[in-house]
Amino acid sequence: MNRRSQLDAMGLAVVSTGLAVITTALVVVPQRIAQRPAQRGVLALNLDPTGQLRLWNRRVRAQEVAELLADSKDQPQKGQAVLRLIPDPAVPWGVVRQAAAALETSGVPLELQLP
């Protein structure tokens, strides 16, 4: 009986360790996938219907974007920084054009990713 309870305890330990590893992977892997463009020098800006920009789910002003671009130019990277503008589905096209025109003055290549 003692041997049986030791095997049961070992089995429970293996199962709980496996569940902990799977749970951690379910949290970490999506975060790593979301951060992958930033590692390649892509600065993804989300545009909401009011014309506000969000970077990493935080509202930013155009001046802050310019500062981030200046910081990225100072750091040696494999490639040049790229701005990616991602409008929400409800954003009017006029707002997208205004934001794109404002971001094009930065001198950094601009990509438009449609939803």
Q: pLDDT of 10-47, one tens digit each?
A: 999 999 999 999 999 999 998 888 777 766 778 888 99
Report how far residue 46's alpha carbon sits from residue 25's, in angstroms, rounded to the nearest whole number: 26
Q: Give the DSSP letter of residue 59.
A: E
- pTM (2 d.p.): 0.62
Q: Are strands 82-87 and 42-47 parallel, antiparallel or unpaired?
A: parallel
3 state SS for 61-87: CHHHHHHHHHHHHHCCCCCCCEEEEEE
Q: Which long-range contacts (CB under 8 A, 24 or more apart) does 96-105 make?
A: 96/47, 98/51, 99/47, 99/51, 99/53, 102/62, 103/45, 103/62, 103/65
According to the model, what pLDDT value does residue 74 have? 57
Q: At a CB cut-off of 8 Å and minimum separation 6, what does 107 contact? A: none
Helix (H) or strand (E) holding 100: helix 93-104
Least confidently predicted of 9-18, 47-56, 60-69: 60-69
